[in-house]
Amino acid sequence: MENLQLVLFVLGAIAIIAVLVHGFWSIRRQQPKPLKETPMAGLYKEQNRDRDGFDADGIGAVRVRKLNTEELDSSTEIAPEQADQSMSAVTPSSANFAGERQFSLSDEPKQKAPRQRQEPTLSGSANDELEQMELGLGQAPAQPSLFEDPVCSRKPEKVKPKPAPQEAAKPAPDVVEAQIAQAEAELSVEPQPEIEEVKEQPLGDPQDVLVLHVVAEEGGELNGAELLPSLLTLHFKFGDMDIFHRHEDNAGTGKVLFSLANMVKPGVFNPDEMEQFTTQGIVLFMTLPCYGDALMNFSNMLNSAHQLADDLGGVLLDGARSPWDEQKKQSYLQRIRAQA
């Protein structure tokens, strides 16, 4: 067991040393080589040159020449004769450009002619322009002005004020009044005849009363808790004389067509106590003449009576508290036609 541990220890040490050596070798391999060891170093080596010092491409070695101060001063000085010759060589070529003027070097500089600023003119003769363009170097040849605009050179014409228009003669007051009256007559609208409100004629005293009863069966009573929802469904509205009325409009507005009262005296209702209210029967009635169509009003009253009898479990009777039948219905219709 101890030998095995020793072998493993040796192998681990050898592996660590191998890893370190390989790392150092990789780092050294990745480092850039110096210029002398690269293949381009051969280009910088001294090539074979001939006796005159030139290589195969005809390029000689670099030479550094040192100049003395005396040679430097003598090389910068220019003899006057050479200067005259150089200037004389320049003057023929530049004579044409400078207008046949010769340049020469002298000890004293010549004074330059002052330049005059030329302002463009909108009008004027050609002679005036030529005099303004003279700069002391001679008279310039006559040429048309570049600054002259034929449109701008025109003198602005004076606008003559137009004579003020004469005020129109004021019309006479009579004419003005006549024109106003004529305009009003044209614009006036003929007054429309007023629509007279149709006044409803009073019905007068009742000539007949049509009555229907809805009574409970023998030994029974009509319950107010069931009566009130049925009345509201049939569009009855509690109103005058503490009874319910059926109006022209279902919302409870307009003229009263027929009414509903308690059959038991005093014949009134209390809406706040309808849940505790009980009665032996109710009565529906309408007067003749009435507002609107009497036949239609009676038909609505009869249908309401049938609906209440069905909802409350009652019996429909006529005004004399007799059972309702077709014969009684025809009798009521004849009474309605008699009052028409």
Confidence at 103, pLDDT banded by 50, 70, 90 = very low
Q: List, for residues 205-226, the tens digit of each pLDDT value.
A: 888 999 999 999 988 999 999 9
Q: Where are the beta strands (DSSP E) in the chain?
A: 208-215, 222-223, 236-238, 244-247, 256-262, 278-279, 281-288, 315-317
Q: What is the pTM of this model?
A: 0.44
Q: Which of 133-142, 166-175, 308-317 has the lowest mean pLDDT?
A: 133-142
Confidence (pLDDT) at 141: 46
Q: Whose CA is closest to 311, among 211, 210, 232, 256?
A: 232
Q: Who has greater pLDDT, 81 or 259?
A: 259
Q: Whose CA is closest to 333, among 291, 292, 302?
A: 302
Neighbours of 302 (CB within 10 A): 18
φ, ψ dihedrals at 35, nearest 5° = -60, -30
Q: List, for residues 8-66, the tens digit of each pLDDT value.
A: 999 999 999 999 999 999 888 887 766 555 555 555 455 566 777 777 677 776 666 66
287 has a pLDDT exceeding 90: yes
Going along the chain from its start, the domains and CATH numbers come out as 208-339 (3.30.1400.10)
